Structure 1
Amino acid sequence: MGAINNKNTFTRSHQPMNNNPVHIVTGATGGIGSAIVDRLIESGVSHIVLACRNQDRAKAMIDRLSPCNVTLTAMQLDLESFDSVINFVMSIRERDMAVDTIFNNAGTMPGTMKLTADGYESATQTNFLSTALLTQMLLPRIVNGGAIVFTTSMTRHIAKLRTDWKQHAITHHHRFTTYGRSKLMLTHYALDLACELAPRGIRVNCSDPGIVDSGIITLGNPVVDKLSDKFFRPLISTPAQGAAPAINAANSQLTGQIFTLNHCTPIPESYLRDPLHSIASEAVNDALAISTSEAMQ
């Protein structure tokens, strides 16, 4: 039987709980996230944390997967909220979980501008700031030799870094370029983190799943979406194919790479020469300082 450990956690276990490091998958109930979980189960990992906003869907997913010989734990995580990130990390600490791999899979591509309670455009906070903040706060829990995987996107090629990135995302929101900038900043941050964590043997890679048949490509226009479902979706990658780069990124002994379905290439060195390269890590450090201060109050 499943057991409610607290209001934010649900676990179903078919083997004794142990101290083996966990694999965390954010957005685990989505198309690619669910496929990542399936691949991890097939590989025989012992414990997977489903870090999700919708706990009902996470619990239903655990019930569906219940015959597997893996401990599955659903934990509340809403990347539109720094408080939720802090609470998630505190729950990991309270349960004394060591972390093997973080799959930073969750993302959003809203068609209209939405402001979070923290004062950021939602895609910017979800895809970049909260994802990076979650990772930074979990660094002490990641075992040496572990892995961090960030989901990037081909849309990073249509965006540029800006010093006014926070305000521009609010005042000049565009579905694709705002999303692309959030992924571009995340990829710049991943490059810095790969260098920082190399002495611990922690590999930091990006996964670019390409265009995948998932909810994120639904545009909200009934006519366009209907045509897309009929003519476009059958030609693009399945969620299982979209998950493959993330699994390969986690399993690789390389670091600082971008994995696609069939290839991997280093995160471009040109990123380091970009005069604005440092703004990504600076933004994360600022968010970390504020969140850490608030968590201690």
Structure 2
Amino acid sequence: MSKADWTASDIPDQTGRTAVITGANAGLGFQTAAALAAHGAHVVLAVRDLEKGEEAAAGITAESPGAAVTVQQLDLSSLDSIRTAARELRARYDRIDLLVNNAGVMWTPESTTADGFELQLGTNHLGHFALTGLLLDRILLVQGSRIVTVSSEAHRRASIDFDDLQSRRKYSRPGAYGRSKLANLLFAYELQRRLAAANAPTISLAAHPGGSATDLFRNADPLVRALFDKVIVPLVAQDAEHGALPSLRAATDPQAEGGQFYGPDGIARMRGYPRLVTSSKKSHDAQDQRRLWTISEELTGITYPV
């Protein structure tokens, strides 16, 4: 039976595994990386700011002396940066056991990536779609390898408008964020379908942190930020260490299976121990999954070996 009160102490030995975590210099990504490193994994912090990445690596090794931690520059809002990072990672590692697509931006002002994509969709979904595709052959070499994509409860209030995928006709900060998080799930589920159809040794899973006290709300309206910090966090949210547990369970629990979605089991799914949860009906729309996949290939120029 699945353990109800799963914590980081339940992570199996990760010795010999190489894990790449995006956005690992702070918040959920940092806590995910620190826990994996503490259990023996070689952890790659894939971050936009190298200086912050090195500081994070030093923090992890201070807590876990002897931990294997390296830093990789990666800007998910630039396909050039993604291609460069993937090329360098492929040169450095013959195999990758785990990829955690964690990095994200939230509620940003209307803007675009270096390639002209709406910033939140471009960073949170298209950037990870491209990175995963470019690293997949290294991941497919490992029996039992995993790809974990981090979504959000915000996906439940979102929909995919394929006629305005880039939010050019109408832009809403929370709307674009929710759409990117729904896209994360559509991607994770479609990737699992393709992996299973190919009898691949790799599985794709998803997770969400609930309400976590991180810096993700830095782009919110000051009134909303104050409400989150002074009301929501004390009442129902949890710290980043606990917010990382769903991702860690998806990444390491021996009983986890492809296509599963992990999140907190507490009030309003905002806090608590990580367990299997269900996502919205829209996230399971197979037609939308396939359509988004095709569009993502066209926009990024990345095709997958499965």
TM-score by length of 1: 0.84
Relative to structure 1, the CA distance from residue 290 to residue 230 in structure 2 (aligned partners, 3 Å threshold; closer, same or farther) is closer
Residue 257 of structure 2 is aligned to residue 254 of structure 1: yes
Residue 54 of structure 2 is aligned to residue 42 of structure 1: no
Letter in 1 for 2:80: D
Relative to structure 1, the CA distance from residue 281 to residue 291 in structure 2 (aligned partners, 3 Å threshold; closer, same or farther) is closer
Task: Count residues in correspondence.
Answer: 272
Q: Which residue of 2 aligns with 1:156?
A: 155
Equivalent positions of 1:97-246 (< 5 A) are 97-142=94-139, 143-167=142-166, 169-198=167-196, 199-235=199-235, 236-246=237-247
Q: What's the CA shift for 1:136? A: 1.1
Q: Distance in 2 between matches of 1:251 and 1:213?
A: 23
Q: Quote the RMSD (CA, aligned, Å).
A: 2.3
Residue 298 of structure 2 is aligned to residue 286 of structure 1: yes
Q: Distance in 1 between matches of 2:287 and 2:215?
A: 35
TM-score by length of 2: 0.82
Q: Distance in 1 between matches of 2:280 and 2:158?
A: 15
Relative to structure 1, the CA distance from residue 200 to residue 278 in structure 2 (aligned partners, 3 Å threshold; closer, same or farther) is closer
Q: Which runs of 5+ in 1 are unaligned?
A: 1-18, 293-297
Verify the 8 A CA contact 1:113 1:170 in the aligned structure 2.
no
Q: What's the CA shift for 1:179? A: 0.7
Verify the 8 A CA contact 2:106 2:219 in the aligned structure 1.
no
1:58-117 residue CA offsets vs partner (Å, 9 max, x unmatched): 111122233422221111000110111100100012223410101110000133111112
Letter in 1 for 2:296: V
Verify the 8 A CA contact 2:112 2:119 in the aligned structure 1.
yes
1:33-72 residue CA offsets vs partner (Å, 9 max, x unmatched): 1110121122222x11000001111111122233422221
Q: Distance in 2 between matches of 1:20 and 1:98?
A: 11
Q: What's the CA shift for 1:182? A: 0.9
Letter in 1 for 2:57: I
Q: What's the CA shift for 1:280? A: 1.5
Secondary structure of the corresponding residue to residue 85 of structure 1: helix
Letter in 1 for 2:105: T
Q: Which residue of 2 aligns with 1:15?
A: none
The 4+ residue runs of structure 1 with deviation greater than 4 A are 266-275
Q: What's the CA shift for 1:239? A: 0.3
Q: Distance in 2 between matches of 1:221 and 1:268?
A: 27
Q: What's the CA shift for 1:233? A: 2.1
Q: Which runs of 5+ in 2 are unaligned?
A: 1-14, 266-274
Secondary structure of the corresponding residue to residue 145 of structure 2: strand
Q: Distance in 1 between matches of 2:221 and 2:281?
A: 39
Secondary structure of the corresponding residue to residue 103 of structure 1: strand
Q: What's the CA shift for 1:185? A: 1.5
Q: Which residue of 2 aligns with 1:295?
A: none
Q: Which residue of 1 aligns with 2:271?
A: none
Secondary structure of the corresponding residue to residue 255 of structure 1: coil
Relative to structure 1, the CA distance from residue 84 to residue 260 in structure 2 (aligned partners, 3 Å threshold; closer, same or farther) is same
Residue 20 of structure 2 is aligned to residue 24 of structure 1: yes
1:114-153 residue CA offsets vs partner (Å, 9 max, x unmatched): 1112011110111111111111111101123100000011
Letter in 1 for 2:249: N
Q: What's the CA shift for 1:20? A: 4.3
Secondary structure of the corresponding residue to residue 143 of structure 2: strand
Residue 96 of structure 2 is aligned to residue 95 of structure 1: no
Q: Distance in 1 between matches of 2:119 and 2:232?
A: 27
In percent, how many aligned pairs have the same letter? 29
